[in-house]
Structure 1
Amino acid sequence: MPGMNAKLKNIAKKQSQNEKDSTWHQDHPNLDDHALAILRGIRKVVKGIKPTAVDGVAYYYRRARFLATVDTPYMHLPSLFIAELERLDQERNEREQAEDGPFELNIESTDYMRVSLAIHERFANLLWTCWNLREEETRSFLEVLQKGYSGGRQYTTTQFKSNAPFYIYNPNDLPLPHITEPNKALRGWNHEVFARALCPIDQVAKFDENPADYMADVANSRIVITEDSTFPSFLYRDGLVFDPENPDEGFLEGSMFLKFLNHDLAGPSAACGGMPIGSRSSKAVLYGLKGISPRITASIAIQTYVACSSMPEFDAEDGTVDLIELHAHLVRILEEKDDETQATLARVRSAVPHLLRAPKGKRRSRKADVPKPDRPNPVDKILELRAKRREAAAQQAAAQEAAAQAPPAQTRSPQRSIHFDDDEDMEDEDEARKRVTLDPSGCEFDIYEVLEPTLWPFDTDVPPLAARIDQDEDFTEDEEGAQVAKKGKVKGEKATGAGRLGDDHGDKENSGRSQSSHRSAKEATPAPSSRSVSTSPRTPLAEKHPRHKRKVPGGATDDDSGSRKKRCTLTYKSTLAAEPGSSRRTS
């Protein structure tokens, strides 16, 4: 309805104005001006305008509708308030006649103050101010509030009446016989299921023995049930075996009672424990409730009793049961301050999980009076993780900066020995042992194997080498093949002046291997790659030292006439440091 939506928007816009400038607002600081605005609104209501459409009056009218639930369903507001107002008026007149000082407002009725506070915290003073301004219009104001109170109670009664047939049964049980919604004549003691719900809890065992006989005895007054009997069984846990010595066990845990409690406070869709799906806020949110009080619990229990009974409409008596007294009994037991009562109320509160739920954008500022759970704040978690990431990033940046500023490590590679076989006898042993400087700029070296596995130390175009003939060793021609396969091989081309050097294992563990195994291993060895150190022509090593002839594959030499050979060791040492992390190996 577009017209209704526009009207509601206008009302909301007016209510959002500054409270101090709106005399009809309930929180206006000037109580006299606010009372005059209320009385002007009452005149409009008397002329036929709905109370909900009059500014100022609408707020108190809505609050009165909820009094039947929040306080008691048996109350007449004009009688309650006017009786106390007349007493105060008489006391003031007596004080003025006796000239016994100024009159002070002293309200003696506890019901007057309790109901006034349920409407608004300043309602008692507002009513006294209106009474002093215009008494007749104040009476009309109270009559309007009574209509709101009765309308709210009747609405709850109607809701409970229509839903009682659905809430009384266990969802797994089939209802027999069928219960028609509008007709209540078949409820109460005229229906077995409803009769068991109204039966006193200490009589349920007897009722279950023969329900028909028990119902007939109640109808014929052979069994009299009054408000002084034990509480009805619908207030207790389903299937409970009542213990007279422990009447608190299962109290206010009945399934039908809890369904009606959720229905009235959270909404019909939440009656069976589901999430409310209505577009309106719950009563608890609309009326600013912070919890479930003893009087709210007692009022819902009375409305549940009326829904189960055969009473055609809401009344104060059901046969021999005085419902006003039953309500008073429930309030009395629930207003006790002992631990058992507090535990019972806590169970009732936990049974309404969606008490303060409201649609998005309609939640009020009030919060439930339940202890806040001790759980980590999600914002604190996010900030903590961010701080950890920043700290880790700072540490990583500092480590990188320190690594960049640190000087490179100046390490020298250890000496390495490359063995090759000489073809001829060494004439001068002293000359063979002297140190010579070898410039490999014109040579190409193919290193098959190095004694000690290590990183290749030459990382420049022309690495300086220092070489010396370290040792000679005699060996026979018969041992030549095994020695070649064992210790490596140096090949060189005379035309290019290249020397190919093979490494000597020198490992004693390999000394016992057979000649055939070594030869097959040598034949399976892939051709070595050539590393060109420099392209400038230099004098080959073989030309500098003619006695160092190239070894021929298969154990032969360029000069096969000699039967005795010597092996020399060429030791080189790099004067450059290998780069950290270099992984190039000789293989």
Structure 2
Amino acid sequence: MSSSSPPPEEPRNPGRIKAILDSLENLQGGRKRKKSDPLDPYLKAARAFPLLHDPLVDLGAVFYDGIKADHEEEHPDDDETPEERLSTGRIYRVNVFRDFVKCIPTISTTISGFEDDPAKLEDFIDALRNTASLARAEDTCKLKDLCPSFLLDDPSKSGAALDPPIIKGQSKSLRGWNHKATARGLCPMVDIMAFDEDPQSYMDLVLNGEKRPPLFKKLPSCLYDESLAAPILKRSGFLRGKPPERTFRAIFTGPLTALDPTSRKGTKQPKGVIHGMTEPMGRAIAYAAIQLILSLSSVEQWSSEVNGLDLYELYLSIVTTLENTNHSWVKETLDYWKKYALKFSWPNFAR
């Protein structure tokens, strides 16, 4: 992620600021907005935020920390210690902000336009925060009924089904460590042989608290290609499995492409094209991995933790690893994703 300064300010346009304020009022009042609305570029960027920037950090906090950092010399916070100002979390959010605003060329002047009305700035940030949360929630809802079937070798095969079946609309309390297939997907890759020897016994040990579920250092098997996995090599086969590939395509090139990358129906552009993605990005891959794990779990609502597994720690670890482009494993992994995860998709979608 870039930590460079935000783009230079553009000349302030009072007419555009007023149009944005009017659109905010319409949005808050539930009134119909214009076909070409001045808020659209900002809301579009907000929808991309969880997919391409960070699904677990609060967009509001990112904006407040980012704006504060860019005006820190003029408006220092006397109540904040130097350690707090330089906290790792805040530095990260500032960097996310500066990376994010590059997607919106007019954002600097728009923010400046709210100087005389801080309450409206809060409304603006809330609108972006809510839009980002909704985009993430829509993916979570859609994937809830799709991802369990991605555990099957060939879900399109006649008669292919989980045992017992996971039915659409069924409570998620029946998943996680309460279902053999989802439990196996959540089982640490290093323990998969022990799981397969006696699945029910392993599940009971986790449910009874006698065995710890997967932690950060023991990653779920659903993120691996088991034919490549090696007990002593954490990265062998990691992020090469079919479930994360299918989840990624379901999000970025459409549910119909999840099982068949060449499938294309309808005229609606997929999210990857809408948000300008030209190849699989580390943050997008990490986002798909987090959504997959969440969908297999018994957790009913979005959470940063699943049975002791810190999803935020996992997300940042995947991102940090995949952004280390000098590592041979990273190059091989990203080349793999370009070849298989989006095979045939982008040339058809990006026309």
TM interval, shorter chain, is 0.7 to 0.9
Provide Cα deviations, 1:280-310, integer angstroms capped at 9, x if missing partner: 1111111111221111110110000011111
Partner of 1:493: none
Q: What residue in structure 1 maps to residue 122 of structure 2?
A: 139
- The residue identity in structure 2 corresponding to 1:32 is N
Change (3 A) 1:288 1:174: closer
Partner Cα distance (1:83, 1:131) in 2: 16
Please state how far the C-alpha of 1:115 moved relative to its aligned partner.
2.3
**For the structure 1 residues 174 and 138, does the alpha-carbon distance in structure 2 shift closer, same or farther, using more than 3 Å as the test?**
closer
Match of 1:347 in 2: 336
Residue deviations 1:159-203, cap 9 Å, x none? 110112332222355431121222211111100111111111111
- For the 8 Å contact 1:234–1:256, the answer to whether it is kept is yes
Counterpart mapping for 1:427-506 below 5 A: none
C-alpha separation between the residues in 1 aligned to 2:37 and 2:205?
56
Question: Matched residues in 2 for 1:78 and 1:54: separation?
Answer: 25
Q: 2:19 is matched with which residue: 37, 45, 70?
A: 37
Contact 1:292-1:349 within 8 A present in 2 as well: yes
- The whole-number CA distance in structure 2 between the counterparts of 1:46 and 1:180 is 37
- Which of these residues, 217, 220, 235, is aligned with residue 223 of structure 2? 235
Q: Deviations over 1:436-457 (max 9, x none)?
A: xxxxxxxxxxxxxxxxxxxxxx
Q: Is the 8 A contact 1:282 1:355 kept in 2?
A: no
Q: What's the offset of the Cα at 1:130?
A: 2.7
Residues 177 and 207, structure 2, Cα contact 8 Å, conserved in 1: yes
- Distance change in 2, residues 1:242/1:265 (3 Å): same
Structure 1 position 134, deviation (Å): 2.7
1:113 is aligned to 98
How far is the alpha carbon of 1:31 from its aligned partner? 3.9
1:257-279 CA distance string (max 9 Å, x none)? 11111111111111112422132
Aligned to 1:49: 31
Q: Name the amino acid aligned to 1:48.
A: G
> 1:294 and 1:37, CA in 2 relative to 1: closer, same or farther beyond 3 A?
same
Matched position secondary structure for 1:131: coil
Aligned to 1:483: none
**Alignment equivalent of 1:271, drawn from 248, 252, 258:** 258
* Matched residue, 2:147: 164
- Structure number with higher helix proportion: 2
1:212 paired residue among 195, 200, 211 = 200
Match of 2:58 among 63, 70, 76: 76
SS of equivalent to 2:113: helix
Note closer, same or farther for the CA distance 1:72–1:29 as it changes in structure 2 (3 Å cut): closer
Q: CA deviation at 1:29?
A: 6.4
Question: Greater strand share, 1 or 2?
Answer: 1
Q: Distance in 2 between matches of 1:52 and 1:329?
A: 41
The answer as to whether partners of 1:200 and 1:230 remain within 8 angstroms in 2 is yes
Partners of 1:36 and 1:130 within 8 A in 2:
no
How far is 1:85 from its partner? 2.3
Residue number among 294, 310, 327 corresponding to 2:282 in the alignment: 294
The one-letter code matched in structure 1 to 2:330 is: T
Corresponding residue SS for 2:243: helix
AA matched with 1:139: E
Match of 1:246 in 2: 233
SS in 2 for 1:315: coil
Provide the secondary structure at the position in 1 that maps to 2:165. coil
Once the 2 structures are TM-superposed, how far is the Cα of residue 87 of structure 1 from its aligned partner? 4.7
CA contact (8 A) 2:10 2:106 kept: no
Find the counterpart in structure 2 of residue 126 from structure 1.
109
Q: Is the 8 A contact 1:280 1:358 kept in 2?
A: no
Q: Residue 285 of structure 1 aligns to a residue in which SS?
A: helix
Distance 1:62 1:271 in 2: 24
Specify whether residues 305 and 335 from structure 1 end up closer, same or farther in structure 2 by C-alpha distance, changes over 3 A only.
Answer: same
Inter-partner Cα distance in structure 2 for 1:356 and 1:51: 32
CA-based RMSD of the aligned residues comes to 2.5
The one-letter amino acid paired with 1:145 is L
Question: How far is 1:233 from its partner?
Answer: 0.7
Which amino acid letter does the alignment assign opposite residue 150 of structure 2? Y
Letter in 2 for 1:47: G
Q: 2:134 aligns with which of 151, 165, 176?
A: 151
How far apart are residue 216 of structure 1 and its match?
A: 0.8
Q: Deviations over 1:497-533 (max 9, x none)?
A: xxxxxxxxxxxxxxxxxxxxxxxxxxxxxxxxxxxxx
TM-score by length of 1: 0.51
Q: Identify unmatched segments of 5+ residues in structure 1.
A: 1-27, 95-106, 365-587
Q: CA deviation at 1:92?
A: 1.9
Q: Which residue of 260, 264, 268 corresponds with 1:280? A: 268
Deviation track 1:475-511 (CA, whole Å, cap 9, x = no partner) reads xxxxxxxxxxxxxxxxxxxxxxxxxxxxxxxxxxxxx
Alpha-carbon shift at residue 122 of structure 1 (Å):
4.2
**Which structure has more RCO (C-alpha within 8 Å, separation ≥ 6)?**
2
How far, CA to CA, are the matches of 1:310 and 1:340 in structure 2? 32
Find runs of 4+ consecutive structure 1 residues off by over 6 angstroms. Answer: none
What residue identity is the alignment partner of 2:217? S
Matched position secondary structure for 1:356: helix
Gaps of 5+ in 2: 1-8, 77-89
Q: Taking every aligned residue pair, what percent have the same amino acid on both sides?
A: 24
Does the CA contact (< 8 Å) of 1:51 and 1:57 recur in 2? no
- 1:180 matched residue in structure 2: 167
CA deviation after TM superposition for structure 1 residue 60, in Å: 1.4
Q: Cα distance, 1:65 vs. partner? A: 1.4
Q: Distance in 2 between matches of 1:41 and 1:278?
A: 30
Retained in 1: the 8 A contact 2:176–2:297? yes
d(CA) in 1 for partners of 2:330, 2:126: 37
Q: What is the alpha-carbon distance in structure 2 between the residues aligned to residue 342 and residue 287 of structure 1?
A: 23
Counterpart of 1:324 in structure 2: which amino acid? Y
